[in-house]
Amino acid sequence: MVAVKENPMNANQIATHLSMDYKTVKHHLQVLLKNHMIVEAGEGYGAMYFVSPELEQNYDEFLRIWAKIEQQYNPSS
């Protein structure tokens, strides 16, 4: 999410950035779209993904929650 906030990308760019399978990324993008975490501009392969206005408005809270999740799953970090 941080990478997309800093630099909107298409699904292929996100997959490359995260070293993940394209289809896996597409699945997760659909989940994020459904939950209003991101928005999509354009269609098909070239569609770009951006942080949604709702998430942008609450981004500090998102980061706070994300830090708690990371701490829970990576206590040594």
pLDDT digits (tens, 9 = 90+) for 1-31: 888 888 999 999 999 999 999 999 999 999 9
pTM, two decimal places: 0.82
Kindly report each contact of residues 30-34 with a partner whose C-beta sits within 8 Å and lies 24 or more positions away, as own/partner.
none
Task: Return the closest-CA partner of residue 3 out of 21, 15, 17, 16.
Answer: 17
- DSSP-assigned beta bridge partners for residue 39: 50
pLDDT digits (tens, 9 = 90+) for 35-65: 999 999 999 889 999 999 999 999 999 999 9
Which structural domain, as residue segments, surrounds residue 37?
2-73
CATH code for the domain of 16: 1.10.10.10
Task: Return the closest-CA partner of residue 14 out of 34, 31, 29, 33.
Answer: 29
- Number of domains observed in the structure of the chain: 1
Are 51 and 38 within 8 A, CB to CB? yes
Question: In angstroms, what is the C-alpha Rg of the chain?
Answer: 13
